[in-house]
Amino acid sequence: MALEMFGRSINKIGVIGSGNIGPDIALYFTKVLHKYGVPVIIVDVAERALKSGESRVEGKVKRGVRTGAFKKEEAESMINNLSWTSDYSQLKGVDFVIEAATEDIGIKGKIFSELEKICPETTIFASNSSHMEPELIFEKIKKRERCLVIHYFFPAERSIIVEIVPGKDTSSDVVGFLMKLYEQIGKAPIKVKSRYGYAIDPIFEGIFLASAFMVEKGIGTVKELDSMAQRALGLGVGPFTAMNLTGGNPIIDHGLTKMHSKISPWYRKPVILESLLASGKQWDTPKLGEEAAYREKAFETVSDLIRGAYFGLVCEILDSGISSIGDLEMAVESALVVNPPFQMMNKLGVDKALELVKAYAKEWPDFVVPEVLVKQAESGKPWDIPLVFREDRDDVAVVTIRRPKTLNALNSSIMRQLQTVFSEIKEDNRIKGVVLTGFGIKAFVSGADINELARLKIPDEGEALSLRGQETLIQIENLGKPVVCAMNGLAFGGGNELAMACTARIARKGLRVLCGQPEPKLGIIPGYGGTQRLPRLVGLARAWPLLRTGNPISSEEALKIGLIQEEVEGDIKEAGIAFARKVISGEVNIPPINKEPIEIPESLPEVDIGHLSRKIDEILKKAILEGAKMTLEEGLRFEARTFGECLKTKDTRIGMETFMRFGPKQNAGFAHV
């Protein structure tokens, strides 16, 4: 068997190195590729390393079985799909190989020289280097157009971010294929231009270094700085704890020395790191559950300094031109588990962020104040953080919502950006149609941002939020050009409502869970048109139980009831483009949604709403039935008012609080009032 994707065939994958990260890379590959029968070969010259890596992977898979992440048969298939060997000849015929050996140019050079003898000329060569430029790693390789860096983050089987770093000779076709491949296997790749350290590690190591410098200045101890930096930046773990967990001290020791000459003189090896490496010990950090004691006044000092360093580090990357705001915001937040930098600066005020960076540079004069931050502060505007991306494919615009950490959940920023993008498309005479899709394979749009919904307090706020969202969807519905929603994954709540505002909908084939309106489970009703468009698209009798129970349906069921036009296999974006062109040419005719009042059947199906709020169900039934008697325009306004009514109830607060505390699997204990 093989994985056929984007014009390439993947029959076998190789991973070189069974040390810190190679086994985790192999684990992720086997997790997603075992079902296609694509074997993963792990090669290491040290038998001890092979046994250790194999044992670690098997342990993680067994834990996955215990937690329910994997079924027993699935786990066995994943393990059996892996081969651990010291024999490089096992890589004959491999289509894609990732080297994850020691960060040593000599070792990497020998590995790729050996691979060049064994592998076909079509094999993609990638190095999981954390710092070295691809031009240096592949300097002696003859066919460098197939070579690049793919930088994973700890832990590689769970962190979604990978940096795709092409060299000056890397083929754009190879880069394009890998960007698509990694998205399709569940990662979030960002393309980064070649520079030592790439985009994310200079920030990661810079946060550590800024903390180490403060320890050396006597502002606090290692334990105190670890806790204070974690609190100030919203880090998952403190910077010193991160070094202990990843075994990163030797790598950062070398990296900081190189960054000193290649990026900025501010980067240098701190004295306390030299001492620690000489002793062979780990950093003295808080134990699990322990909070280091420190004075609040000390925290204020540390908070200002560490934020100044953080903002300056991120903006230096932006200044260098190797990455973009959107990619940095997503990657830094996800890979480093830290508060997103540009959102932090916007909330604080960009001028205030600049003051913090300047204050930090005054304490450490080698630290450069990035020009891009100076200019942004002078503009008086917040950072524009893109979450909606447009790519034109001749006469079809492909619009992608990318917010993978929340499964592309809609928030006010996305809604504003959708309005802007669709306004530009409407005025662009070159564009005849649109494909609207989501990033990744899990979700088109998982719904409206629950944090924004939870902040609603009074009916007027609820109605206003609903009307603002409806305005965006009405704009898409009345664009004057066909809009095909390519549902790459689940569409819940506002996501399904967004899809229903499009001219047509297609979905990936075989999705057991595609779409639904789960609002009643949260103690609210749909507010972006669900009570009005769903009955008009599939009929009131079919919509009635779907709206009232909040239960999702599969792609097969959605096709059967007429909610989607096609189930497709393969690349959903390409299928969307092809479908849009059929609509443009008139080959496919999609009747417009009925905007007039619709007939209410004499009898509607009995619906068991179970534990759901009877009070919210009353409001929901009113929105559906009264709205059906109105035009679509009137019905949408009526839905917004009834959405606001939910905020008068106790059950809305119960539903929201239950979801915020326990997630979607916990049933709310509604009071029915």
76 given a catalytic annotation: no
DSSP assignment letter at 19: S
Give the span between the Cα atoms of 490 and 408, in whole angstroms: 10
CB-based burial of residue 217 (10 Å sphere; 0-12 exposed, 13-18 middle, 19+ buried)? exposed
Q: Which residues contact 640 (CB under 8 A, 6 or more apart)?
A: 463, 466, 467, 470, 527
Give the span between the Cα atoms of 643 and 460, in whole angstroms: 10
Give the span between the Cα atoms of 119 and 112, in whole angstroms: 10
Give the span between the Cα atoms of 489 and 515, in whole angstroms: 9
DSSP assignment letter at 88: G
Catalytic residue among 497, 567, 639, 645: 497
Neighbours of 339 (CB within 10 A): 16
Q: Which residues contact 407 (CB under 8 A, 6 or more apart)?
A: 440, 442, 443, 445, 446, 489, 490
CB-based burial of residue 246 (10 Å sphere; 0-12 exposed, 13-18 middle, 19+ buried)? middle
Q: What 3-state DSSP class applies to 246?
A: helix
Catalytic residue among 163, 205, 224, 519: 519
* Among the listed residues 210, 89, 108, 203, the one whose alpha carbon sits nearest the alpha carbon of residue 149: 108
Give the span between the Cα atoms of 12 and 77, in whole angstroms: 15
497 given a catalytic annotation: yes
Three state DSSP letters for 118-149: HCCCCCEEEECCCCCCHHHHCCCCCCHHHEEE
For 289-361, strand residue ranges (E) read none
* Among the listed residues 491, 493, 498, the one whose alpha carbon sits nearest the alpha carbon of residue 515: 491
Find out whether 402 and 408 touch, Cβ atoms under 8 Å. Answer: yes
Q: Which residues are catalytic?
A: 497, 519
